[in-house]
Structure 1
Amino acid sequence: MTNAVSGLPFDDIRSLLTEFPGPDLEAAAACRAREAQLTKPPGALGRLESLAEWLCAWQGRHPPSAERVVVAVFAGNHGVVAQGVSAYPPEVTRQMVANFQNDGAAVNQICKSFGLGLKVFELALEKPTRDITSDAALEEAECAATMAYGMEATEACDILCIGEMGIGNTTVAAALSLALFGGEAEDWVGPGTGVAGAALERKADAVRRAVEHHRPHLGDPLEVLRRLGGREIAAMTGAVLAARLQRIPVIIDGYVATAAAAVLKALRPDALDHCLAGHVSAEPAHRRLLAELGLTPVLDLGMRLGEGSGAAMAAGIVKAAADIHNGMATFQSAGVATKNV
C-alpha cells in the first residue's frame, strides 16, 4: 500500500509496515539439520518439528528459545454494549481484570501450569469506545496511541501470546471481520458470552448497521480498526506489529484476538507469518476467520473463554517443541545406530 506523507497519526504505523524482517532461513536450516540427527525416525514428532523450525525462523536464531513466554491480556470496554448485544454488563470487564490480578482466572492457572508470564493491560475501562453503530469507535490519534501502547507488551519475552477481555468485543470482532472479508453479518456473529434468540438477532443487526454506517471509509484497514474496533483490539494489533519488528513469534488466542491480527493481514499479506493460531474457538466464526487468514490452529478443545487461555494452552505445546528439539540426544551422542539406507 502506497501512502503520501500527510503527518497523520497512522502514517507512523504505515511506515513500520515497510520495515518487517522476513524469516531467518539460515536458522531454520540449522533447525532442520539438527532435527535430522535426533534419535527418532524423520517426521516422527509431526507438527512439533515444524513448530521448532518456526520458532528458529522468526526468532532469528538456533537453537530456539521458549524460556520467557508472556501472555498479554488487554482489556477494554465498548459503547456498542448499549445496543443489547451482550449477556453481561460492561462492569464485568473491570471485575475480571481484578480477577486476573488476584490470580483467580483460568488463564492464571494455565500460566502457572506451563511457567508462563502474565501481563494485564487496562485500557481506559472507565471510558468505553463510542457506539460503532452511529459513530467511530476511536479518533485516529487515539487509535494510533493505543496501538503504540500495545507495542510495550513485547518487553522481555521470547514468545508473545495475545488475549483480551472486554464485554461486547465479539460484536466488534464480527464487525471487523465483516468489513475486512465481506459476507453477511450472520456469517460472523455468534453467541459470545452466551447470547441467543432475540439478543443474537440484535447483535447481528448491530454489526450490520455498524458496517453500513462506516462503509464509505472501509477501504483502509486502519480506518476499519479505528471505526469498528476497540482499545484492546487496537492494542493487540500494535503488539503483533511490534513483535514482528523485534523478531518475537506470536501465539494468537481466539476470535477477538484473531480479528485484531487480521487488520495487519489486510494491510500486508505476509504480516502474520510470524504468528501461530493457538486454538480454534467454539465461537462459530473463528474457524472461518482462521481460514481467511490461512492459519492452522494448534489446538481444537472447544474453548471459548478468551483472556488468552487458548494461546496459553498452545504455548505449553510450543515450549515442549523447543525443549524436545534442544534436549534430545542425537544418534551419535546417544550411540544409537542410524537407519539402514
Structure 2
Amino acid sequence: MSEDRWNTVLVLGGIRSGKSAFAEALVADAPSVRYVATAVGGEDDPEWRDRIEAHQRRRPQSWSTEETAGDPARLTALLTEAKPDDTLLIDDLGGWVASVLDPARQPQDDEAEVTALAGAVRACPARLVLVSPEVGLSLVPVTPVGRAFADALGTTNQALAEACDSVALVVAGQPTWLKRTAPVARETASPSRQPAVLSPAPPAVAAPPPPPVLTPDTTAEPTVVLPAAPAPEPVRADVLTESTMTLPLVASGLTEIKPGMDLPMPSSDAGPDARERLTGIDLPGAGLGPLAEAIEFAAATQDTTTPRSWDSVRLVLIAGRHGGGAAAGTDPFDVERRVAEAEAGTGLLGRLAGQVGADIAVLRATEAGAMEDGPVTDEATVEAALRDGWRLADAAADAGRDAILLAGLGTGVEAVATAVLAATTGAEPVAMLPRVMLPGGRFDDNAWMVRCAAVRDAMHRIRQEPRGATDVLRELGGPDLAVATGVLLGAAARRIPVLLDGPLGIAAGLVARDLAAQTRHWCVLPEAGTLALVKQGADVLGLAPVLEIGLDLGEGANALTVLPVLRTAVGLLSALPVHPALLAEHGDAGLSDEAEPVADDEAEPDSETADDEAEPGERAGA
C-alpha cells in the first residue's frame, strides 16, 4: 500500500460517461504511468480503432502501454509484479471479462480468475486505478451470450469494489464517490531526510489545516480608466454596485450559478457565410490568411455577414494574489506598481489602451491561500466572485462596449493557471508551467522548482476530490479566477465577444465551459504568445489563435498590440465590394457607382418579358 494509504480506486461508468477521462485525471500527478489496455480484437472495425486511437492521443508521452489482449492471466501477473513506486491504470475490465469468457479458453474456472484478480488488487503495492463499465443500470440482454457477459462483469465489479480502497461512479462526466478511504498521515521521517523539491512522491504531511475563511470583499470596486491623449486621468466607476439590467440568470428563474446554465450561442450561419463571402471581395493576392478567423468570429457574434470592427473595447484586468509556493520568485512590490499604473492609465497598458481607444477596468480580487496546503478559498467567496465577474460584464455592456478584453496579473497567477489546466485536462504541469523571469531577462530556476512542487502537491492533495467548476475554483483557482470566470459567463449572457489574453483568461475559459459550454464560442484568442500553458489550454477549448507572432508581454498587452490589425481585417468585409471578375453582368452589386447609366428606352427586356411578348411559334422553337 502507498505511504499515504491511498492505493486502489475502481472507476465505474456507462458508455461515454467520462469514466476514462476521470480515471486519467486521478493519476495525472504521477511522473509516469503504465497504461494496461485490455481490448480484444477490433482490427476490422474502423469505429473501434477510432475509439482506441482517441484514447492513445490523450495519454502523455511519459506513459507506457501494455496490452493483455486475450490473456486475462497477464493482468493478474502485472499487478503481482508491480513495485510500490509504480502507477497503473487498467482500462477497462470489460475487455478483460470478454477475454475470460472467450470460448477458445473454455472449459475454464471463470470464478477462480475473478478471485485471483481481486486478490492481486488487494495485495498490489502500486498505486492502481481500474476502469470498468457499469452494467447494472442497463436493460437485461436478450441473448444468452449477452446475459453471461453482464453477469460475469457484474460479479467482477462487485469483487473489485470490495477489494479497492475507493470506488467512484461517473455519470455524464460527473463523478460520485460510492466508497472512500480517508488518507492518513504516514509515519514521520527522520529529520535529516529532506524530500527533493521535484520528488515524484507526495510530501509527508499531517492532517491539512482548515481552509482559510475569506470574507467576500463586497466593497471591491474596479477602477475604470477612460482612454485619453496624453495619459488619461483615472475615473472611478461603481460598476459592481450601480444598477444594471436584470441578469438573464435571474430572469430564467435560476438563483445560482451552477453547471448546465443555458446561455446564448453565436449565430451558426453568419460566421461561415462571412468566410465564404470573404473569398469574393476585391482583395489582391490569396486573401487575409489567419485573419479570416477573426472575421468569422466577429460575424458569428454579431449575427451578420458584414461585421463591424470592435471600436469600443474594455480591458477587464483582474489583479489576484496567491500565497504559498505559487508566488515563488515574484516581487509583490513590482506587481503592485504595475497594478497602480493600470489604475492610473499609465505604463505599458495605459499607453497601448490609449492608442486603440480602449478603457481599463481594474478589479483587485481577494487574496487566496496556498493551494498546496488546502482549499485556497471558501464556497461563499467563490459564489460572490462569480457574481462580481458577471456584473463586470454587465457594466461593460451597459457602457456600450462591443468587446471585452480579459486578462490578469498578480502573484502566483501562472502557477494557479497551470494547476487548473492539469486538474481539468490531465496535462503535465512541469511541461506547462512557464519559467520564472526576473528583471533584466534572467531566469530563476529555483523559484520555478518551488512553483512546480506547489502544483504537484496541490494535485496530489485533490487527487480524490471532485473536479467540478466550483470545486476547482475553491481548491485551486481562488477569487481572481472566479471573477474572470464570471466575466465570461456574463459576457455570453449579454452576447459580448471576449478577447482572451494570457494564462488567467485561458484558465477561466476552462472553468467556465463546465458551467456553460456556450461560453467558449464567445471567446477568441487574438495572439498565442509563447507560453505552452496558453497554447495547450486554447487547444482544449478549440480556440485557434488568430496570430502567432511570438509576443510575450502578458497582462492584456499582447491583445492590445494586435487589436488594430484585427479591427482592420474585420472592417474590410463591409468596406470592400465584390471583385468585378466575379460579377455575372453589369449592374450587379459591387460595381463602382461611376458606371455609365443605361437609358430606360434602350434597356434590353428581361427574359420573362421577352418570352411573354414573343409569338407562340417563336417560343416553341426556342
TM band (smaller chain): 0.7 to 0.9
CA contact (8 A) 1:86 1:193 kept: no
2:392 equivalent in structure 1: 153
Higher relative contact order (CA 8 A, sep 6+): 1
CA positional deviation for 1:86: 2.8
Match of 1:109 among 347, 351, 356: 351
TM-score (norm 2): 0.48
1:54 equivalent in structure 2: 297
Return the letter of the residue paired with 1:67. Answer: D
In structure 2, distance between residues paired with 1:226 and 1:103:
32
1:6 equivalent in structure 2: none
Q: Say which structure is richer in strand.
A: 2
2:431 equivalent in structure 1: 187
In structure 2, distance between residues paired with 1:201 and 1:44:
46
With over 3 angstroms needed to count, the CA separation of the structure-2 counterparts of 1:84 and 1:266, relative to structure 1, is: closer
Return the letter of the residue paired with 1:277. Answer: L
CA positional deviation for 1:173: 0.8
In structure 1, distance between residues paired with 2:551 and 2:269:
37
1:282 equivalent in structure 2: 530
CA positional deviation for 1:205: 0.5
1:93 equivalent in structure 2: 335
Q: Say which structure is richer in helix.
A: 1
Task: Name the SS of the counterpart of 1:171 in structure 2.
Answer: helix
Match of 1:79 among 323, 330, 350: 323
CA positional deviation for 1:202: 1.0
With over 3 angstroms needed to count, the CA separation of the structure-2 counterparts of 1:184 and 1:44, relative to structure 1, is: closer
CA positional deviation for 1:291: 2.3
In structure 1, distance between residues paired with 2:372 and 2:351:
37
In structure 2, distance between residues paired with 1:57 and 1:320:
17
2:411 equivalent in structure 1: 167
CA positional deviation for 1:57: 1.1
CA positional deviation for 1:243: 1.1
1:226 equivalent in structure 2: 474
CA contact (8 A) 1:139 1:226 kept: yes
Match of 1:214 among 446, 457, 462: 462
CA positional deviation for 1:48: 3.0
Matched, 1:306 2:549: no
Matched, 1:133 2:391: no
Match of 2:267 among 19, 24, 28: 24
1:67 equivalent in structure 2: 311
In structure 1, distance between residues paired with 2:291 and 2:257:
34
In structure 1, distance between residues paired with 2:370 and 2:294:
40
In structure 1, distance between residues paired with 2:360 and 2:342:
9
Return the letter of the residue paired with 2:446. Answer: A
Q: Deviations over 1:75-117 (max 9, x none)?
A: 111122xx37432233433322111123332222222222222
With over 3 angstroms needed to count, the CA separation of the structure-2 counterparts of 1:130 and 1:102, relative to structure 1, is: same
Return the letter of the residue paired with 1:223. Answer: D
Return the letter of the residue paired with 1:313. Answer: T
Return the letter of the residue paired with 1:103. Answer: G
Matched, 1:328 2:572: no
CA positional deviation for 1:32: 4.9
Task: Name the SS of the counterpart of 2:316 in structure 1.
Answer: strand
TM-score (norm 1): 0.84
Task: Name the SS of the counterpart of 1:334 in structure 2.
Answer: coil
2:620 equivalent in structure 1: none
With over 3 angstroms needed to count, the CA separation of the structure-2 counterparts of 1:43 and 1:231, relative to structure 1, is: farther
CA positional deviation for 1:321: 2.1
Return the letter of the residue paired with 1:292. Answer: V
With over 3 angstroms needed to count, the CA separation of the structure-2 counterparts of 1:152 and 1:94, relative to structure 1, is: farther
Task: Name the SS of the counterpart of 1:215 in structure 2.
Answer: coil
In structure 2, distance between residues paired with 1:221 and 1:84:
20
In structure 1, distance between residues paired with 2:287 and 2:593:
19
Task: Name the SS of the counterpart of 2:321 in structure 1.
Answer: coil
In structure 1, distance between residues paired with 2:302 and 2:552:
29
| Aligned residues between the structures | 325
What percent identity do the matched residue pairs reach? 24
Return the letter of the residue paired with 2:263. Answer: F
CA contact (8 A) 2:264 2:518 kept: no
1:238 equivalent in structure 2: 486
Task: Name the SS of the counterpart of 1:76 in structure 2.
Answer: strand
In structure 1, distance between residues paired with 2:375 and 2:471:
9
CA positional deviation for 1:176: 0.8
Task: Name the SS of the counterpart of 1:74 in structure 2.
Answer: strand
In structure 1, distance between residues paired with 2:372 and 2:410:
18
In structure 2, distance between residues paired with 1:186 and 1:29:
38
Return the letter of the residue paired with 1:121. Answer: L
Range with greater deviation from structure 2 (223-232 or 162-171): 223-232
With over 3 angstroms needed to count, the CA separation of the structure-2 counterparts of 1:169 and 1:243, relative to structure 1, is: same
Return the letter of the residue paired with 2:523. Answer: C
In structure 2, distance between residues paired with 1:29 and 1:300:
23
With over 3 angstroms needed to count, the CA separation of the structure-2 counterparts of 1:55 and 1:19, relative to structure 1, is: same
Return the letter of the residue paired with 2:338. Answer: M
Return the letter of the residue paired with 2:362. Answer: V
Matched, 1:259 2:507: yes
CA contact (8 A) 1:76 1:165 kept: yes
CA contact (8 A) 2:379 2:474 kept: yes
Matched, 1:14 2:272: no
